[in-house]
Amino acid sequence: MGLVDGKVALVTGAGQGLGEGVAHALAADGAAVVLADKVFAKVQRVAGDLTAAGHKALAVECDVRDRSSVDGAVEAAVAEFGTVDILINNAMTQNLVPFDAATAEDLIDAFESSVLGTFNCMKACFPYFKENGGKVVNFGSGAGTEGVPGMATYGAAKEAVRGLSKSVATEWGKYGITVNVIVPTGSSPAWEQVKDSLSEANLRKTLAQFPMRRIGDPITDVGRIVVFLSSSYSDYMTGRTLFADGGRALFR
């Protein structure tokens, strides 16, 4: 029996990278997974992989900036599986530019895709969580907790998500709802592009920033921590930030 057996999880940005890995981890531990992404073809592929492996999965097209689109995704989840028990807010655009080149539009884009998207999804799921309790896992970033060159707007939005999460955790605890944040480092299409551009020496230098000397696996390293935060094992933990980054937080 899995840690989230019989639960229904909505994962945003589930079409690739960490979102896809988290979806696989939740499904492997027993959850029915609703995969939401702005690009339907991506989540359709992931849902196909999960159902082929014997898991319950549903792909939905969803733009988290648009509340009506989010409401539609939640309604589809409820129609297919009866409810929503777990919400994983992973979706966000990555428009990474140095601060002196960043525009107000870049900042707005970061906040709309991350903070507003997280806000919309939490609001849409609340009626179901309020009745039976629920689990919310939001995504932060080392770009915010550490500060990374060229990622000011991205990092600012991710820190805003952490602030939102802590405040909502204090309001929703009385309903048995937990709201936690994970700050992950895991393999993704963006990381693969960076890795391919590095010399062997620079790759070693990059990995040396992590005590474990490697980038996390989206399923086994990041996804399983999300499973823990989505399970009854974390029922007395809320408003917290967990780092799944191979120990890099030790240097912050």
pLDDT given for residue 117 in this prediction: 98
Bigger pLDDT: 195 vs 230: 230
Q: Which of the residue ranges 113-117, 152-156, 157-161, 206-210 would you say has the lowest mean pLDDT?
A: 206-210
What are the phi and psi torsion angles at 39 (to 5°)?
-100, 105
Q: What is the mean pLDDT of residues 223-247?
A: 95
Domain parsing of the chain, residue ranges: 8-189+217-244
- The answer, as to whether pTM is greater than 0.85, is yes
250 — pLDDT class (breaks 50, 70, 90): low
Residue 11 in contact with residue 223, Cβ under 8 Å? Answer: no
Q: What is the pLDDT of residue 161?
A: 98
- CA end-to-end span of the chain: 38
Output the pLDDT for position 216: 85
pLDDT at 146: 81
108 φ/ψ angles, rounded to the nearest 5 degrees: -60, -40
Domain 8-189+217-244: CATH class, spelled out:
alpha beta
φ, ψ dihedrals at 200, nearest 5°: -60, -40
Q: What's the pLDDT band for 252 if we cut at 50, 70, 90? A: low
What phi and psi, each to the nearest 5 degrees, are found at residue 199?
A: -70, 165
Residue at token pair 């599986």: 81
Q: Per-residue pLDDT tens for 121-140?
A: 999 999 999 999 999 999 99
pLDDT in tens, 165-203: 999 999 999 999 999 999 998 777 766 666 677 788 877
Phi, psi at residue 69, to the nearest 5°? -65, -40
Averaged pLDDT for residues 50-76: 98
List residues with catalytic annotation: 154
Torsional class of 165: left (φ above 0), alpha (ψ -120 to 50), beta (otherwise): alpha
Counting residues of the chain whose pLDDT is more than 90, the rounded percentage is 77
* Residue 232 CB neighbour total at 10 angstroms: 11
Mean pLDDT of 159-167: 98
Average pLDDT in the chain: 92
**Confidence check: pLDDT of 5 > 80:** yes
Choice among 37-41, 47-51, 148-152 with the minimum mean pLDDT:
148-152
Give yes or no for a contact between 228 and 4, defined as CB atoms under 8 angstroms apart: no
